[in-house]
Amino acid sequence: MQQLQPSTLKETGPHGTESFPCAFYQTFSCGKGYLVKHHWHDEVEILYFSGGGFRLEINMDSFPVQSESLYFINPGELHSIFTENDGHSGEDAVVFSLDILSSDSYDAAQIRLIQPIQNGNLLFPRCLPPGHPAFIPVRDAFLETVRSFGHTPDDKNALLDSSAVTDDMTRQLFIKSSLLRILAVLSRYRLFTPTKKDLDKRVEGIKTVLTYIKKNYKEKIYIHDLAEQLHMNEQYFCRFFKRSIGRSPMEYVNEYRIKQAMHLLDNTSWPVTEVCLECGYNNLGNFLRAFKKYTDTTPLKYRGRNRLR
């Protein structure tokens, strides 16, 4: 069987505009579950949580978010966000290409900071907690970036996901200055670190498996199909996957299928039986049990509840 490359987990849509690759995202959830599914991209991402109740998964690690905090996603890192609260909660993110901060003059910042990050030799810190002396200045610069997009940071009255880009030159200048201020503060406190190359191969392996699931979830998937992608035996693969993702391979497959089913129930008028078959379930009873397990309701009740909003 041909091994798939992990390209389909990569976000191929533009972050920002072609001339200014930088965008703001505000994402909300009304209950437990994935707020952001596993994916990766070539841009840097800065995440701001105004409170706790989340689990952030990056590469091989899981980070419980228990209070206000800032997290950084380096280019190429596989990541997802899981909401652990039953109530309404969300996070703000700015995703940007370092190209917008690059300089042709090749000054010290370009040579010793920006270029090493672009080349994958230098990493942003993983997290800035409120107690760190860099937290307040970085948070303020982040929130100023959000305001420059024309958004109110962490709008408590917002009910829907939103995003923003800008072609306005003045806004772009303010955004650049805020992002450069973040880099300056992190550099001042020596928070950038050299790349740990030993994780690269394992992370690429997980990307390959998740890509296979994304491309084949409509079909029957067996453990040996997944293990074969990494040339592992099934027992070792199951331990490797659970250690990396926090769930067994088939738990992840079922969770992914139910997320696709929820999307179809929200956006089509297909009968439940058709949704069931489209999402890889050949038995309606198994589909209904899985849907109930992950959503605590039935497909028809889920569709009716969402259409009343």
CATH top class, domain 16-195: mainly beta
Report the pLDDT value the prediction gives residue 202, as an integer from 0 to 100: 76
CA–chain centroid gap for 100, Å, is 22
Q: Where in the chain is the domain with CATH 1.10.10.60?
A: 199-307
Residues in Cβ contact with 254 at an 8 Å cutoff, skipping those fewer than 6 apart: 290, 294
Residue 232 confidence class, pLDDT cut points 50, 70, 90:
very high
The CATH label, of 1.10.10.60, 3.50.50.60, 1.10.540.10, 1.25.40.10, for the domain at 199-307 is: 1.10.10.60
- At residue 111, the pLDDT reads 87
Within the chain, all domains assigned CATH 2.60.120.10 are found at: 16-195
pLDDT at 3 over 50: no
Name the nearest CA neighbour of 24 among 192, 156, 205, 171: 171
Of 117 and 29, the structure prediction assigns the larger pLDDT to 117
- Supply 270's token pair: 């297909």
Q: Which of 46-55, 59-68, 146-155 has the lowest mean pLDDT?
A: 146-155
Neighbouring C-beta atoms of residue 75, cutoff 10 Å: 18
Over residues 179-185, the mean pLDDT reads 97
The pLDDT value given to residue 182: 98
Query: Does pLDDT of 76 surpass 70?
Result: yes
**Closest of 294, 260, 297, 252 to residue 276, by C-alpha:** 260
Q: Read off the pLDDT of each residue in 38-56 and give the average, rounded to a whole number.
A: 92
**Strand-by-strand arrangement of the 44-49 sheet:** 127-128, 69-73, 44-49, 89-96, 22-29, 162-164
pLDDT of residue 305: 76
Of 8-12, 126-130, 184-188, 223-227, minimum mean pLDDT range: 8-12
* pTM for this prediction: 0.68
Calculate mean pLDDT across residues 244-260.
89
Span 70-84, average pLDDT: 92
pLDDT score recorded for residue 61: 86
